[in-house]
Structure 1
Amino acid sequence: MAIPDYQKIMLPLLKYALDGQEHSMREVIGALADQFSLSEDERKELLPSGQQPLFDNRVGWARTYLKKAGLLATPKRGYFEITEEGINVARQSQKEINTQFLSQFPDFIKFKSSKKQDEKISSELDELSERTPQESMELGYQKIRKELEIDLINRIKNISPDFFERLVIDLLIKMGYGGSRRDAGKAIGKSGDGGIDGIIKEDKLGLDVVYVQAKRWDTNVIGRPEIQKFVGALYGQRAKKGVFITTSNFTQDAKNYVLGIDIKVVLIDGQELAQLMIDNNVGVSTLSVYEIKKIDSDYFTDS
């Protein structure tokens, strides 16, 4: 089945705690995953950021909202237990607990009211039927990032070949290759030896080198013949490693070809180029930074 949203998790989570014992989050996540008959892939599915399993995140938010309503308590870090009010609710013939149901509890109303920006905005909790606030934030981030990737690719396709070579140098250096920028600048764009645009140090000591080919193409797709030409040039130099960078894309035949050769060749298309630029802060600047924080339970523990 599909991974349930955090509201559908609330009632099963509350009933799980009916034994009155303290339960760890790890324990309840496994038990509820079994109860919802989640597959291994569903249990391992991650948030857009890749930082946490999606189901774990939703169980965490379900616990948070039940706690805000006074139905659960957290006696110590990573553990929770049911309250008297929670026992009363769990024993009712309730088919589902959601944010609308929780709005009858004064503590939850107070929590809900604190989320309003002004009188015209209704609580976001009623709108998040499937996504937790963290999911919504991460999905929004991924959307912004995807739009930035597209803008970067379009911008790169319109720059001069010389500027593109400098861009490649800047990126490789930011990724830890090339030694100094002066060394890299001398290497890229100077060779032109049978399909090789440049040679760059793999590390600052220059223990090995990487041969580079960079193609600033707009719509033409890089096929197997172009890659074979590059690989042939690598064999001619007795090279072991090569990177082929393009603003375009590679055909599947080209991708399959590099998997069956002895030389290690990495293909970087326009999308991956844009992603690497964003990750390494090349050609982009930071507009805003948002930090997600939580209570430090250790701080509030008596010594």
Structure 2
Amino acid sequence: MPIPKFDETMLPILKALQDDKTIMMQELSDKIQAEYFDLTEEEKKEKISSGYSRFFDRVSWGRTYLKKAGLIEQPERGAVKITQEGLKVLSQNPESITVDFLTQYPSFMAFQSSGKDKTKEDIGKSLIEKFSPQDMIDRGFADIQGTLKSDLLEKLQGTNPYYFEQVVLDLFQKMGYGDYLGTPKSGDGGVDGIISQDKLGLEKIYVQAKRYAGANKVREPEIRNFIGAMSDGVSKGIFVTTSSFDESAKEKAKNAHNHKIILIDGEQLTDLMIKYSVGVQVKTSYEVKEIDNDFFEEI
């Protein structure tokens, strides 16, 4: 039989996890391949450009979609486990699980709509029915980037606060700022680090980094305390969080007299980390070529 599409692996994934045990991804892939898909030896060996097994790649995407819908979870690196919602879905004996089926879950819709203007109808429809090959490349790339941003934010929220501070300072150095100095881990008065705006160190910028869960917004008192901790002569500060800022915090930063305060939320932070390759690496690259008409006109 042909290698299954990624959505065709989703129900087998849930069924393979129905014993409520944690299983490693490679073991899961081998299990559903043996029990649900009768692949030829050639199909088993088929690889994508990054070198991964094509079948394993399809299972990995099935895993990602189920995770974003909340039907499975990832308790540790490289491992998966079914959730109570996943068990509930299995108890209904579905004939299949499709992308359209997953659109009933708000967390999945948020993931699919991240950074794109997509409707529920768009998400559930076959891309081939609606889009050109270039459109599909662009939208596929956007989906991959959306998954990366979501996973990266989850990683950041799982780090300890001091490591997160170091990640933020590393990012600013990659962005071209000068030397940085981390402040003591306690009693820092609301400042986690100090960076130079330029390589010569002519002007200093104070940095505050808060590793919060998504629902825990940064509020006005935290911005006020940050401003209050800034030394005389330092007028610029950057406040970074893995969550977001409520309106009172934004207003306080906007109207901070004699101070310029920049706010960076979780969405902006992951964008910057991807742009400057902090905590991420290139998995694979593609070149899309076209006819060089100038070349043929010169012949």
TM-score (norm 1): 0.52
Instruction: Give the drift of 1:178.
Output: 2.7
Question: SS of 1:155's equivalent?
Answer: helix
The one-letter code of the counterpart of 1:194 is G
Instruction: Give the drift of 1:211.
Output: 0.5
Instruction: Give the drift of 1:193.
Output: 4.1
Q: Establish whether residue 285 from structure 1 lines up as the match of residue 281 from structure 2.
A: yes
Q: Establish whether residue 230 from structure 1 lines up as the match of residue 226 from structure 2.
A: yes
Unpaired runs of 5+ residues, structure 2, are: 1-125
Q: Establish whether residue 276 from structure 1 lines up as the match of residue 272 from structure 2.
A: yes
Q: Establish whether residue 158 from structure 1 lines up as the match of residue 155 from structure 2.
A: no
The one-letter code of the counterpart of 1:245 is V
Question: SS of 1:299's equivalent?
Answer: helix
CA distance in structure 2 between the aligned counterparts of 1:212 and 1:239, rounded to whole angstroms: 11
Partner of 1:16: none
Q: Establish whether residue 190 from structure 1 lines up as the match of residue 184 from structure 2.
A: yes
CA distance in structure 2 between the aligned counterparts of 1:256 and 1:135, rounded to whole angstroms: 39
Match of residue 208, structure 1, among 203, 209, 213: 203
The one-letter code of the counterpart of 1:280 is Y
Where do 1:82-231 residues align within 5 Å?
128=128, 130-179=130-179, 184=180, 187-190=181-184, 192-218=187-213, 219-231=215-227
The answer to whether the 8 Å contact 1:165/1:189 transfers is no
CA distance in structure 2 between the aligned counterparts of 1:302 and 1:155, rounded to whole angstroms: 53
TM-score (norm 2): 0.53
**Aligned positions, number:** 171
Partner of 1:87: none
CA distance in structure 2 between the aligned counterparts of 1:148 and 1:135, rounded to whole angstroms: 20
The one-letter code of the counterpart of 1:158 is G
Q: Establish whether residue 250 from structure 1 lines up as the match of residue 245 from structure 2.
A: yes
The one-letter code of the counterpart of 1:203 is D
Question: SS of 2:142's equivalent?
Answer: helix
Task: Report the aligned-residue RMSD.
Answer: 2.1
Larger radius of gyration: 1
Residue identity (%): 42
Instruction: Give the drift of 1:129.
Output: 5.0
Indicate how the Cα distance of structure 1 residues 127 and 226 shifts in structure 2: closer, same or farther if over 3 A, else same.
closer
Question: SS of 2:294's equivalent?
Answer: coil
Instruction: Give the drift of 1:131.
Output: 2.3
